[in-house]
Amino acid sequence: MSEWEQKVEEQRITLVDSQDEEYNFLILDEFRYNDKQYLALASCDEKTDTGSGFDPGEANDITVVRVGEAAGQPMLFAVTNGDELYGVAKLVEERFGHLGGAM
């Protein structure tokens, strides 16, 4: 494995939904907002890319999750509060440009 491939592998994360479906993401950035830590993620899965096929990443929106703890274990949480979502979306948009969708 090349140094570049190893670096990319270290920046991957797998999230599991409520139906035990796994989704792979690449960690684009870590940042803080209102004293909370967040991760900006881009999908690595073809099953989440609904683009036209002309640009392989065109439909892979940036997903943001909040880093926290539950029962003493590290966890990632969906950002569901409107004000919080707006604030982190503005930060991500400043960093990565126009956002097309889901957070």
From first to last of the 103 residues of the chain, give the pLDDT tens digit. Answer: 666 555 555 688 898 888 999 999 999 889 999 999 999 998 887 655 455 544 444 555 888 999 999 999 989 999 999 999 999 999 988 888 765 444 4
> So what's the pLDDT on residue 56?
43
Cα–Cα distance measured from residue 48 to residue 65, given in angstroms and rounded to the nearest whole number: 17
Cα–Cα distance measured from residue 56 to residue 60, given in angstroms and rounded to the nearest whole number: 8
> So what's the pLDDT on residue 55?
45
